[in-house]
């Protein structure tokens, strides 16, 4: 089962009335604490403070400016990935638990065993010497 299938129906959205209530409760400011006003030009995102992927089953609980929401999403993805690794759903420990890893075979030593090695020698005959010391004339 993929994560999309697992979380189908769990991501709930706000009604326009709930969204307006959140906007009023935050005085029209970003929910992250940066104190910037929410604007439709930047975009307004209804955020789950605790991500749905980390078990939040409620509706979004604050309105964030899109730049702030994007930064939070980036951090959330890292946290979600870590949670999956720790739950051994992904990563090396998960692969080991599944038994789908194979040991890396040891590299074979291409050399003959010690003592059986031939001492390197000249692979071609020595050039015959021309003797110039003896002359007949
Ligand atoms: Zn903000």
- What are the per-10-residue average pLDDT scores of the chain (137 residues)? 69 93 96 93 94 92 96 96 94 89 86 78 78 68
What is this structure's pTM?
0.65
Q: How far is the CA of 67 from the centre of ligand 1 (A)?
A: 7
Q: How far is the CA of 43 from the centre of ligand 1 (A)?
A: 11
Domains and CATH numbers, the chain: 3-98 (3.40.1800)
Q: How far is the CA of 52 from the centre of ligand 1 (A)?
A: 20
Q: How does 22-31 read in b/e, with b if 16+ C-beta sit within 10 Å?
A: beeeeeeebb
Q: What is the pLDDT of residue 84?
A: 94
Q: How far is the CA of 94 from the centre of ligand 1 (A)?
A: 36
Distance between CA atoms of residues 105 and 99, nearest Å: 16
């Amino acid at each position: 089962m993929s994560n999309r299938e697992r979380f189908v129906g769990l991501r709930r959205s706000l009604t326009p009335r709930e969204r307006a209530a959140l906007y009023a409760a935050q005085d029209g400011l970003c929910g992250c604490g940066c104190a910037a006003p929410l604007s439709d030009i930047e975009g307004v995102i209804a955020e789950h403070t605790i991500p749905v992927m980390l078990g939040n089953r409620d509706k979004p609980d604050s309105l964030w400016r899109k730049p702030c929401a994007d930064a939070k999403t980036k951090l959330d993805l890292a946290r979600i990935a870590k949670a999956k690794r720790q739950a051994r759903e992904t990563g090396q420990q998960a692969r080991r638990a599944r038994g789908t890893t194979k040991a890396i075979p040891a590299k074979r030593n291409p050399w003959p065993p010690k003592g059986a090695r031939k001492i390197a020698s000249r692979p071609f005959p020595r050039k015959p010497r021309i003797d110039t010391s003896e002359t007949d004339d």
